[in-house]
Structure 1
Amino acid sequence: MKTYQDILFSQEAGVAKVTLNRPSVLNALSPNLIAELADVARKVSLDESIKVFVVTGAGRAWSAGVDLKALNESIEGGHFSNFEVMEMGAAFILTLQAMPQVTIAQVNGYCYTGATELMLAFDLVYAADEAQIGDTHTKWGIAPKWGMTQRLQQKVGLMKAMELSFTAQPVSGKEADRIGLVNKSVPLAELESTVNQVVEKIKGNSAQTIAAMKNMYYFGAQHGLHRGLEYEWQADFKITDREEFLRNFEKNK
């Protein structure tokens, strides 16, 4: 894996971990950071030795959202266009949801707007009680492009989603837990160990079955109950690690 400028990458015992590493600007999503996220996610998705992909942030934030200053500078310098940046973010999200690995957002602090859109695309989200999570598109006069209006209402319901977007007011990690925006919130000091515990539970299960079920969950979320039930009934996934798990079950009875 290559060395990146705006993210830190590590891999150990079946787990890939990315840390957004622009703490001086609250890990704001510069065009380069988004490009690096898309690149690393694509590479992780092709690595069968990795079972779980975790993304967290350095310092006080997971990410404060799209870095508008860096975006403008990049456009003026001819490095990226606004369309290219939107495309890269969308590609990252598509990779997250298509990859066979379980993806986990470890939200350690501020998480706003474009970053919240990215967070919503992870399979699982664990947040610090102290985190602040919100959608401020209406505050800045910018329409979302990475799925906010669709995924947020799937998580918390239509009226709550509209309230969060229309008021542009963030919620704490605790409140995010209460309304179903995250899987669980814990004190910041316990966040990493909580995620590690979840990761260990996941690693003990059939990676191929998890990948198949992830595929079916997202199909149903995107196409509705009737088509989802048909898809699940008709799906024929190749799961070659089943016999190993059945043998272990017999041994442990």
Structure 2
Amino acid sequence: MTELVTRRDEDGICWLTLNRPDKLNALTVGMFKALRGHVSDLRSDDSVGCVILKGAGKCFSAGHDLADIASGEEVPSRGWHSETLRLMEKLPKPVIAAVHGHCYTGALEVALAADFILAAQSARFADTHAKWALTPIWGMSQRLPRRVGTATAKRLMFTAETVKADEALRIGLCEAVYPDDSFEAELGAFARRILENSAFSHAANKRLLEATDMDALDAGLQWEIMENEGVGPDMQDRIAAFTKK
């Protein structure tokens, strides 16, 4: 049986691939179960310092499988999809959503749960919940405005328009756009730049950023002071290596 989400580890980078290319990686309960299993394994896997989530075939994902929705898909519990993405979001290591081709609606909700989105030139983003008389329950209403601002989030959600890669970069939906033919190489280079730095700092910084997101500035500054986790166990070694250059 074909794995719905595959995993490949390479020099500290974990490549997770949504693997239903014949269905444009349309998201099903089975795919979320597979993703959740990988996320659970990665939480305590110190051999991995960065996670890249991508799609097999022509695109990242065309979104939530409409056939599954129409047939009344069975989920383990209310909010289970959202909970799964929250678990990925809270991994103590950076997560990159690598988007090429379609990234629509539920797929965009998945990508938004990553720390950042890197796009190929072919990437296309859209929220089509309103097109199907649906409302988001995987995090769109919370993460999209935090990423692009409330007014832009409303525009995308109310019009269901498709946004090309360069426009996604302009509005802050993605952090970079790369040519399709060098996309995977650029992803690897980006991840390796992350791996050059302290895994301790990455985990601590994610917790600090998470804890005060959208809080008042003064409250956030106080939290940073009181909850700061100090220095990592490899600080002295890193400084020594630098000063010896």
Shared fold (TM-score, shorter chain, > 0.5): yes
Give me the whole-angstrom Cα distance separating, in 2, the residues matched to 1:227 and 1:215.
15
1:89 maps to 81
RMSD over aligned Cα atoms? 1.8
1:63 aligned counterpart, secondary structure: coil
Describe the shift of the 1:51–1:4 C-alpha distance in structure 2 as closer, same or farther (beyond 3 A). Answer: farther
Given that 2:58 and 2:100 are in contact with CA atoms closer than 8 Å, whether structure 1 keeps it comes out as yes
Work out the CA distance in 2 between the residues paired with 1:53 and 1:182. 16
* Paired amino acid for 1:68: L
The sequence identity of aligned pairs, in percent, is: 33
Paired position in structure 1 for 2:67 = 69
1:74: Cα distance to partner?
Answer: 6.8
**Inter-partner Cα distance in structure 2 for 1:216 and 1:4:** 39
Counterpart position of 1:251: 244
Task: Please name the residue that 2:12 is paired with.
Answer: 14
Q: Using the alignment, how far apart are the partners of 2:142 and 2:86 within structure 1?
A: 14
Question: 2:209 aligns to what?
Answer: 217
SS at match of 2:88: helix
1:144 pairs with 117, 136, 139, which one? Answer: 136
2:213 is paired with a residue whose SS is helix
CA contact (8 A) 2:100 2:120 kept: yes
SS of equivalent residue, structure 1 residue 162: helix
| Matching residue of 2:23 | 25
Distance (Å, rounded) in 2 between the aligned partners of 1:65 and 1:216:
31
Structure 1 position 99 matched with structure 2 position 97: no
Within 2, Cα distance between the matches of 1:22 and 1:89?
18
The match for 2:113 is 121
Deviation of 1:196 after TM superposition, in Å, equals: 1.0
1:130-168 deviation line (CA, Å, top 9, x unaligned): 111110000011110122112111111111111111000
Given the alignment of the two structures, is residue 196 of structure 1 paired with residue 171 of structure 2, yes or no? no
- Residue 217 of structure 1 and its aligned partner are, at CA, apart by 1.2
For 2:3, the equivalent position in structure 1 comes to 5
Q: Tell me the TM-score normalized by structure 2.
A: 0.93
Counterpart-to-counterpart distance in 1, 2:14 and 2:203: 16
TM superposition shift of 1:201: 0.7
| Aligned residues between the structures | 244
The equivalent of 1:108 in structure 2 is 100
Within 1, Cα distance between the matches of 2:239 and 2:2?
41
| SS, match of residue 104 in structure 1 | strand
C-alpha distance in 2 between matches for 1:4 and 1:123: 28
Normalized per residue, the structure richer in helix is 1
SS in 1 for 2:151: helix
Q: Which amino acid aligns with 1:67?
A: D
Contact 1:31 1:74 survives alignment (8 Å): no
Q: Tell me, which stretches of 5 or more residues in structure 2 are unaligned?
A: none
How far is the alpha carbon of 1:70 from its aligned partner? 3.0
Q: Per-residue displacement from partner, 1:46-78 (whole Å, max 9, x unpaired)? A: 101110011100111101111131345573xxx
Quote the Cα distance in structure 1 between the aligned partners of 2:159 and 2:178. Answer: 26
- Structure 1 residue runs without a partner (length 5+): none
For residue 123 of structure 2, what is the aligned residue in structure 1?
Answer: 131
Deviation string 1:174-232 (CA, Å, 9 cap, x unpaired) is: 11011110001122112111111111111110110111111111222153423221111
